[in-house]
A and B are shown apart, each in its own frame.
Chain A
Amino acid sequence: MLATLEQSQQTLNTALEQVSTGLSVNQPSDNPTAAASMVENTIETGDVDEYTQNVTTSLATVSQANSTLSSVVTALTSAQSAGIEGANGTNTTANMQALATQVQGILNNVIADANTSVGGVYLFGGTSTSTPYTADPSSPTGYTYNGNNETNTVAVGDQTSVAVNLPGSQVFSNSSNNVIGSLSSLVSALQSGNSSAVETATTAVGAAINFIGQQQVFYSNADSQLSSQETFLQQDTVTLTTQASNLIGVNQSAAATELSEAETDNSAALAAIAKVMPNSLLNYLSTPT
């Protein structure tokens, strides 16, 4: 009788635990296979959360870099107009100097853009933590690149990683198309007052505008790649959550039914035992006279 009672009590406890925790597997012995599968699921879920965060951060970085490059293009376009004005041969020395100052200002702005950082990380410094461009009188362009040539690659999936930046050495001081060099040449040409030199330098600035435009394609591609990965990760999260709930979750309505069944069983067992226990022949005998 006591064994029956104990068993019914245990069933009740299990049902109660499942309903209160919302889990059908509360310890490995409840379902060894599910418990083992959950190890992978837990790790994968953690990773996917982190991948999603990486994607969000990278998207911000990429769009920031893209808009920075757009502002560089704007700056270069105004430098180009200044160059065209300086090359028409009708300018006084004072005018040329004024234009040189204007372009120098533009150059400073472009350097500031090239040194943009997001969350302490330089957008155009490769993987280096040093300020990408610093003034250097000994350099022909007046600036030295302190970053490296590497790209930051961010893991956004188990087998997927996306390059999220281009180093400054490729964007701003590329040996074949040096953006900073073209601006500083224009400044020197304007300062020297040589119209033909100004014209050559202006052409170089025009080429730089095109070149930056080409670099922006990289960021647009990265942006679309990240966006599609974001969608994929959202699906993955749903899949993993579903898998987890299939493995160790509890069907609430079934569990609740089970609980109330166990309750009924338990009280029935208690009632039955209470009825049987005190009964013996003695209850029905009259006391001896």
Chain B
Amino acid sequence: MGGLNTALMIGVSALDVTQGALDATSNNIANVNTPGYTREEAQISELGESDSDGEVTGGGVSLDGLQSIRDELLNMQINQQTSLQSAANSESASLDQVQSYFTTTGADIASEFSAFSSSLVELSGNATSSSAQEGVIAAGQNLAAAFNSTANGLTGVQTQADQQVPDTVSQINTLTAQIAQLNGQLAQVPASEDGGTTQDQLDQDVAQLAGLTNIQVTQTNDGETITTGSGTPLVVGTQSYNLSSSTGANGTQQVEDSNGNNITSSITGGTLGGSLNIANTVIPGYLTQLNTLASQFATAFNSAQAAGTDSNGNAGAAFFSGTATLANAAADINVSLTSPSQLAVNSTTSSSGNNVANLSAALTTTLPSGETAPGAYASLVFNVGTAASNANTQSTAIGDNLTQLTTLQGSVSAVSIDEETANLMRYQTAYEAASRIVSTVQVLDNAALNMGSSTAF
């Protein structure tokens, strides 16, 4: 049967356990604002009972350790959404820049098309006036300049996106090296125990990695295995595999795995996926549309010029030049006429009217692309606008989803000051009670020791 000492031992175990629980609570409160911190709970269990001659006595309480409260499935979902979110954000930021070149500012292509068209209408009323001819040349130069600046603006955004690729790749490599190292540290922790702060650090790194590229996380005996794209390993156990980037055949960056294989097309998420999509797909598409328009419009207008004769009686020379190379047509287009008198205002054939109607018609006839020049430009504006609007919508939608998941994660893993304050009071009371056990046993011990002594009474 248990004696007073048993009661003392039980009281002391209660003091120890409450002390541990208070430690956990204070650590939680201390880390309330620490990013990536997962709240810890004291794992408490009762100690085995002892049976002596049929009398069962409780064995007290024990602290099994501190357990971090996390939900791996939720973490994985958050990582996936983070990848999508970063990609959408980076695309949306680039497209916002792109669409600024297609916004009506007075110096954009639409405004300059309008001014050019108006200058031709003015010329039709006054074909021989050199000031009207000068007006057409000036409007043509402005139109060419608008093409140039739009093309350069697009290329600028493309370069910007492109330059982010090597930076992002090196960030990925730093993170994967850290994760591999943390995997090694976690391998030292017995499977029954929680990884605690090391696991927090690892989760934090993985979340950051998810923002950079699309990843797949698998739990193995060696820790977390992380792959990107279509199965390219980034971290396996304690080994990390570096990605690298280099300039590809089309002049933009491509990403290679540790064996040098080009994996660019399989990177779809994160900042890296967003940058690659903008630099390799989105902007080249717009540039092709713009170049085709510049080249076909220049050709149409030049042939209208060639159909007439200029004020000096010469056959109309090419009005626009610089569009010979399709890939640079929009960036290089310029007006090659140097004098208003070179404008082919006179008709070569009929005696009625002049060649101005032919020149104007270059703006309203269907180009080989199947649209008129302003129509083709309008399609481009539509494409850019739709893409920018979609990227914004997508970013917002994923953002909402992510907020929900994060809130959910917060409710599981984050520190609640209210809860911790309640725990603090709970454990305080328990500690006080346990102390009372000890002091009571002490009083009883004294009483027992003094039994039969005369001084006792």
Give the interface of A toward B (CB within 8 A).
3, 26-33, 35-40, 42-43, 45-47, 49-51, 53-54, 57-58, 119-121, 127-129, 148-155, 158, 161, 163-164, 280-282, 285
Contacts and interface: CB of A to CB of B under 8 A. Distances in A.
Residue among A29, A31, A149 with the most chain B CB within 10 A? A29
A53 B121 CA distance: 9
B97 to A, nearest CB: 11
Given A35-B381, A153-B353, A280-B421, A45 B125 contact: no
Contacts of A149: 351
Given A153-B124, A282-B417, 13 more contacts: A26-B103, A27-B103, A29-B384, A29-B389, A39-B110, A43-B113, A120-B129, A121-B128, A129-B128, A150-B354, A152-B125, A158-B364, A163-B353
Given A29-B99, A39-B374, A153-B353, A46 B115 contact: yes
A26 to B, nearest CB: 7
B384 A28 contact: yes
Contact of A42 (B114, B121, B387, B403): B114
Contacts of B387: 29
Contacts of A51: 121
Contacts of A281: 417-418, 421-422
8 smallest A-B Cβ distances: which pairs?
Answer: A28-B385, A32-B385, A29-B388, A46-B114, A36-B382, A50-B121, A39-B378, A29-B389
Given A28-B384, A50-B122, A54-B125, A43 B357 contact: no
A43 B381 contact: no
B392 to A, nearest CB: 6
Q: Which of A32, A158, A282 has the most C-beta atoms of chain B within 10 angstroms of its own C-beta? A: A32
Interface string B341-360: 00000100001111011001
Given A43-B374, A150-B354, A36 B125 contact: no
B184 interface: no
B247 interface: no
11 contacts: A3-B403, A28-B384, A42-B104, A43-B363, A46-B114, A46-B117, A150-B351, A150-B353, A150-B354, A155-B125, A161-B357
A280 B417 contact: yes
Given A28-B102, A43-B114, A150-B352, A54 B388 contact: no
Interface string B90-121: 00000110011011100000110111011101
Contact of A32 (B114, B124, B389): B389
Interface of B: 95-96, 99-100, 102-104, 110-111, 113-115, 117-119, 121-122, 124-129, 346, 351-354, 356-357, 360, 363-364, 374-375, 377-379, 381-389, 392, 399, 403, 417-418, 421-422, 425
Contact of A58 (B115, B125, B377): B125
Nearest to B109: A39
Given A36-B378, A46-B118, A53-B122, A29 B356 contact: no
B354 A29 contact: no
Interface centre among B102, B129, B353 (most CB of A within 10 A): B353
Contact of A161 (B118, B353, B421): B353
A158 B365 CA distance: 12
Contacts of A161: 124, 353, 357
B379 A36 contact: yes
A47 B385 contact: no
Contacts of A30: 385, 389
A213 to B, nearest CB: 24
A3 B417 CA distance: 21
Residue among B114, B379, B386, B425 having the largest count of chain A Cβ atoms under 10 Å? B114
A183 B142 CA distance: 53
A285 B421 contact: yes
Contact of B110 (A42, A53, A121, A151): A42
Nearest to B376: A39
Q: Helix, strand, loop or mixed for chain B's interface?
A: helix
B417 A47 contact: no
Nearest to A43: B114
A31 B357 CA distance: 34
Given A36-B379, A43-B114, A280-B421, A29 B353 contact: no
Given A153-B124, A153-B353, A35 B382 contact: yes
A155 B352 contact: no
B125 A154 contact: yes
Contact of A36 (B124, B381, B399): B381
Contacts of B417: 280-282
A164 B129 CA distance: 16
B382 A153 contact: no
With a 10 A CB-CB cut-off, give which of A51, A148, A281, A285 has the most chain B CB atoms: A281
Nearest to B311: A129
B401 to A, nearest CB: 12
B110 A43 contact: yes
A161 B123 CA distance: 13
A50 B388 CA distance: 34
A41 to B, nearest CB: 9
Contact of B113 (A27, A39, A57, A158): A39
Contacts of B389: 28-30, 32
Nearest to B379: A36
B360 A155 contact: yes
Contacts of B113: 39, 42-43
B121 A47 contact: yes
A152 B346 CA distance: 11
A234 to B, nearest CB: 16
B352 A47 contact: no
A127 B127 contact: yes
Contacts of A46: 114-115, 117-118
A39 B111 CA distance: 8
Q: Which of B110, B364, B403, B418 has the most CB of A within 10 A?
A: B110
Contacts of A127: 127-128, 346, 354
Nearest to B406: A3
B291 to A, nearest CB: 18
Nearest to B360: A155
A282 to B, nearest CB: 6
B187 to A, nearest CB: 38
Contacts of B421: 280-282, 285
Interface centre among A43, A152, A161, A164 (most CB of B within 10 A): A43
A5 to B, nearest CB: 12
B122 to A, nearest CB: 5
B381 A39 contact: yes
B423 to A, nearest CB: 11
Nearest to A279: B418
Contacts of A129: 128
